[in-house]
Amino acid sequence: MLICEGPEITDRLTGATVERRTFTPGELGVSSLGHHGLVRRSTGRNAWPALERWLSGVVGDVA
């Protein structure tokens, strides 16, 4: 899962598998995400558990 504004950041990753996940404000229990998005405490408390599960799965596959 790569969190970014758009595909341009991943366009040069030709040898990588890119998995994109978009969170909506409603999914995270907030009215808007804003510039700091997932690093805000109010947003992060709902987003980071999902990110942690994803990262644990990726690391588990590589190790």
What is the reported pLDDT for 9? 73
* Cβ contact 33:25 at 8 Å: yes
Q: Is the pLDDT of residue 1 over 70?
A: no
Per residue in 39-57, pLDDT (tens digit) is 888 788 888 888 888 888 8
Length of the chain: 63
What is the reported pLDDT for 7? 63
Per residue in 2-31, pLDDT (tens digit) is 445 566 777 777 888 877 778 888 888 888
* Cβ contact 40:34 at 8 Å: yes
Q: Running DSSP on this structure, what letter comes out for residue 10?
A: T
In sequence order, what DSSP letters do the residues of 11-46 get, joined into one string? TT-TTS---B----TGGGTSS--TTTGGGSHHHHHH
